[in-house]
Structure 1
Amino acid sequence: MKTVNKDGVWLPGILDNLLFDNKLDVFNNNYETFSIPAVNIIENLTNFVLEIAVPGFQKENFTIEAEEDTLKVSSKTIETKEETDTETRYTRREFNYSNFERSFTLPETIKIEDIQAKYENGVLKITLPKLEEKKAFKKMVEIS
């Protein structure tokens, strides 16, 4: 199973770090970073498991679509403006709960109708069961 890479996905984050990385960043009180959640892909005899690190979300924020040979995982968040204390402000704000989309190429051996997902402790866990392999059948035929 492979992730689907789109051109330019990594570029904004790298440019931001190379060109605009100010260690104190005291003048920017609305710091935003370009982020794509990290993923672990685990395979065993019966299934693949995707573990996507997405802390701070609710399960209602996620959409998981499986179509033909692609699995698409996305999130949609609604930003709410917090009431802020006039004496307190952020000098750097890195907690990022922005929208994202990740796509994965599925192998032909996945049972799409049996895919399951669970969101727990900031990790979205998607289980992709494999089709049972056809066992080689061998039979000796007796000649009469």
Structure 2
Amino acid sequence: MTLVKFNPDKLNNRSLLPGFNDVFDSIFNDTFFSDRMTSRVPAANISESEDHFHIELAAPGLKKEDFKINLDRNVLNISVESQNEQNNTQKNYSKREYSYSSWVRSFTLPESANAEQIEAAYTDGILIVDIAKREEAKAVRRQIEIK
């Protein structure tokens, strides 16, 4: 027996078959489908300091060797080909949300970025990429004396 969620508030939706759309809503709004429809790439935080741009990617369960970072013209590509799943085959998961098999995140660098000075580190499930700014792009700050 299958249970189908029914929303009585949608009776006035002018459908030829009331309740028909509710069947599809209950199927596609279920977590089984919505989990698979969402994008499976890590979330990113992008920030800027006085002399660097910073990219942080939340990618738990990986090793630093799993990442490939390359620069093609002014596009920084961060990718993971496939996660080693030999330890996971022995487990029966009831829900699995961070099984990245492969993904790519691309970031277009601004002209003020120095492509020669990019550093990356992976600590505690966070990949941190620091991109230095060009000298001419750094904010010049000084105290102005009032006469």
TM-score bracket relative to the smaller structure: 0.5 to 0.7
More helix, by proportion: 2
Q: Give the conservation status (yes or no) of the 8 Å contact 1:63–1:74.
A: yes
Let me know the Cα RMSD of the aligned residues. Answer: 2.9
Moved more, 40-49 or 93-102: 93-102
The two structures have a TM-score, normalised by structure 1, of 0.65
Q: Give the conservation status (yes or no) of the 8 Å contact 1:56–1:97.
A: no
**Displacement of 1:125 after TM fit?**
0.2
2:67 counterpart letter in structure 1: F
Q: Please say if 1:84 is aligned against 2:90.
A: yes
Distance in 2 (alpha carbons) for counterparts of 1:35 and 1:108: 29
**Displacement of 1:19 after TM fit?**
4.6
Q: Which runs of 5+ in 1 are unaligned?
A: 1-16, 26-30, 137-144
Q: What residue is the counterpart of 2:119 in the other structure?
A: 116
1:44/1:56 Cα in 2 relative to 1: closer, same or farther (>3 Å)? Answer: same
Q: Please say if 1:127 is aligned against 2:130.
A: yes
Q: Please say if 1:67 is aligned against 2:72.
A: yes
User: For 1:22, which of 11, 30, 35 is the aligned residue?
Assistant: 30
Identity %: 36
Q: Please say if 1:38 is aligned against 2:43.
A: yes
Q: Give the conservation status (yes or no) of the 8 Å contact 2:47–2:54.
A: yes
Which gives a bigger RCO, structure 1 or 2 (Cα 8 Å, sep 6+)? Answer: 1
1:131/1:100 Cα in 2 relative to 1: closer, same or farther (>3 Å)? Answer: same
Q: What residue is the counterpart of 1:9 in the other structure?
A: none
Q: Which runs of 5+ in 2 are unaligned?
A: 1-24, 141-147
Q: What residue is the counterpart of 2:9 in the other structure?
A: none
The two structures have a TM-score, normalised by structure 2, of 0.63
